[in-house]
Amino acid sequence: EDQVTQSPEALRLQEGESSSLNCSYTVSGLRGLFWYRQDPGKGPEFLFTLYSAGEEKEKERLKATLTKKESFLHITAPKPEDSATYLCAVQARGNFNKFYFGSGTKLNVKP
């Protein structure tokens, strides 16, 4: 069964304290892995798409990496405005329309 597990559930960081969020997945043929950011009371905001193991993408303080079993979202020198819930989703080759979402990691960056 296709599934996505994110860890930790919640993460508290001091401003400037770098860390990583994990997304482990089990899928019958990965078509794509997606990272989103969601602020309270808002819809998810697209961050990255990763297609194959070894791929990396960066945007400002965020860097996403992908292996055959998991993805990491690295946050370098985070700022309070990076506080949000980060969602990971995968799409399997067998189902073009369905995203399997993880439960998210709630990140709180304190000044």
Partner 1 sequence: GAVVSQHPSRVICKSGTSVKIECRSLDFQATTMFWYRQFPKQSLMLMATSNEGSKATYEQGVEKDKFLINHASLTLSTLTVTSAHPEDSSFYICSARSRGPLEQYFGPGTRLTVT
Tell me the pairing of strands 56-59 and 45-50.
Answer: unpaired
* 48-77 binders of partner 1 (CB under 8 A): 49
Contacting partner 1 (CB under 8 A), which of 1, 14, 42, 111?
42
Token pair of 75, please? 């946050």
Size of the site for partner 1 (CB under 8 A): 20
Q: Exposed/middle/buried for 10, CB within 10 Å: 0-12, 13-18, 19+?
A: exposed
The correct pick among 11, 32, 57, 63 for binding partner 1 (CB under 8 A) is: 32
Using DSSP, state whether 35 is helix, strand or coil.
Answer: strand
Residue 103 within binding range of partner 1, rule CB under 8 A? yes
Residues at the contact surface with partner 1, assessed by CB under 8 A: 31-32, 34, 36, 41-46, 49, 87, 91, 97-99, 101-104
